[in-house]
Amino acid sequence: MGKNRDIKSVVVLLVNTVVHEIVAKHTNRPESKPFLEAEVVEYRSQTEKVAEMYNWNQADRNYIKEEAIKDVNKVLFSKYPDVSFPLKEVEDCVDEEIKKLKL
Amino acid sequence: MVQIITTRENEIIEKKIKGISLSQNESNILSKTVRPKLIEIKKINAESILNKIEYNQKSKSIEDKIKKIVLENIDGVKAIIVCGSAIQTNYKEYNDIDVIVVTKKILTENKMEKKRLIWKIEDIAKKEGLILDIQIYAEESILLQYPHSPSLIYQLKDSKVIYGKIKIPNEINLSSMDLRMKLDWSDIVDAYSTSNEIYHALRNIMLVLLLMNKRVDNYELSNGLINLFGADFVSRLKNNKASKGERKIALNYIRNMSYYLSDELRTDKKWGKIEISNQ
């Protein structure tokens, strides 16, 4: 389908991984945690599938990080305003996920 | 012949429909017997139940094969559950067989190792003529996830334990958060997604909608989409044969519904806790 298209898929999936990770960590419903954590694993595995199709260069990694941070914040504020979290955590989580994905 | 509505009850129904006035006794029969019976009948999907209870000699041999393959390759199996279309159609119409293997303990923390094991078992099954889609859960993990996982709730609704024992909780306690998380899966499709990916996103929306209405019914899940878009449209999406225009229509529906449901779940307090009895 092309690298340009797949880089966008990586961003979307990475965003969902991080959003779910943050929500799982800060939700006030501890009983939902096992399910939310399982969802994180599922999104991460989907992201890996797309990510391992290419060799990503530094410019790609920068683009993915920048877009992901922007979109995670957007999704968390619009869809999960009831979840409060430290802003710095978004960047840390995105960095951590990029490391795990070995981009 | 078995009579569900007696001749007398039928006469009363006829009179009511024709506008003929009923005696006090007839009115009582109508409200205390006829209406409750009809309400109960409405809840039953007779076609689906008949399908499930019909004897199919293939089922035992398929289940024996699955048990043998799983038990030979996984240690500490607590239960083997078959679910999905294979069970819903009594092994008559299915593309693959969904199998949930429940282990007594966590098999491995290494995700890749678990994946390799699943691929190995699926390969062995393929050689035996079975296309399996296997998921492995530790008992503790599946029991913790079940009341909050929309997918598991639906998968286990029509399922059959073919080996061992597992007690699925009767009460489902979903929160708005669980459903919003599920809805997020529908946001990953776009104009470049395959028809089949769009089909799954649509099904996901329908599943959330049904759970908001406290419905756990796989038949309704499949038919809800068919009623909305028509059987041909849904079949083309599912089989990756939809046109660009059809994909666009489905995507628009997904976007609008996802936005609407997500907003509704977020803003209305009544979705804070959704309790469903799974009897």
pLDDT of chain B along its 279 residues, tens only? Answer: 788 899 999 999 999 999 999 999 999 999 999 999 999 888 788 877 887 788 888 899 999 999 999 999 999 999 999 999 899 888 988 889 999 999 999 888 887 888 899 999 999 999 999 999 999 999 999 998 898 889 899 999 889 999 999 988 888 888 888 898 889 888 888 888 889 989 999 999 999 999 998 888 888 898 899 999 999 999 999 999 999 999 999 999 999 999 999 888 888 777 777 788 765
- Which residues are CB-contacts of A43 (< 8 A; sequence separation ≥ 6)? A13, A16, A17, A20
Min Cα separation B199/chain A (Å): 17
> Using an 8 Å Cβ cutoff, are A66 and A9 in contact?
no
Q: What is the pLDDT of residue B13?
A: 94
Alpha-carbon span A94 to B217, nearest angstrom: 38
Q: What is the pLDDT of residue B92?
A: 87
Inter-chain touch B184–A19, beta carbons under 8 Å: yes
Chain B residues with CB inside 8 Å of A5's CB?
192
Q: What is the pLDDT of residue B219?
A: 86
Chain A residues with a Cβ under 8 Å from any Cβ in chain B? 1, 5, 8-9, 12-13, 16, 19-20, 23, 27, 29, 31-32, 34-36, 38-39, 41, 45-46, 79-82
Alpha-carbon span A103 to B4, nearest angstrom: 65
Q: What is the pLDDT of residue A22?
A: 93
Which H helix or E strand runs over B103?
strand B97-103
Burial class (CB in 10 A: 0-12, 13-18, 19+), B256: exposed
Candidates B106, B141, B179, B184: best to mutate against A (most CBs of A within 10 A) is B184
Inter-chain touch B192–A5, beta carbons under 8 Å: yes
Which H helix or E strand runs over B274?
strand B273-277
Question: Which of A36, A37, A46, A58 lies closest to A10 in space, CA to CA?
Answer: A46
Alpha-carbon span A25 to B123, nearest angstrom: 37
Question: Which of B199, B160, B176, B157 lies closest to B274 in space, CA to CA?
Answer: B176
Alpha-carbon span B150 to B204, nearest angstrom: 9
Q: Read off the tokens for B244.
A: 């660009």
Tell me the one-letter amino acid at B9.
E
pLDDT tens sequence across A9-67:
899 999 999 999 999 888 877 888 888 888 888 888 888 888 888 888 899 999 999 99
Tell me the one-letter amino acid at B45.
N
Angle at A34 between CA A29 and CA A40, to 5 degrees: 105
Question: Which of B176, B21, B91 lies closest to A79 in space, CA to CA?
Answer: B176
> Using an 8 Å Cβ cutoff, are B257 and B248 in contact?
no
Tell me the one-letter amino acid at B81.
I
Alpha-carbon span A49 to A101, nearest angstrom: 10
Helix (H, G, I), strand (E, B) or coil at B6: coil
Taking chain A, what is the end-to-end CA distance rounded to the nearest angstrom? 19
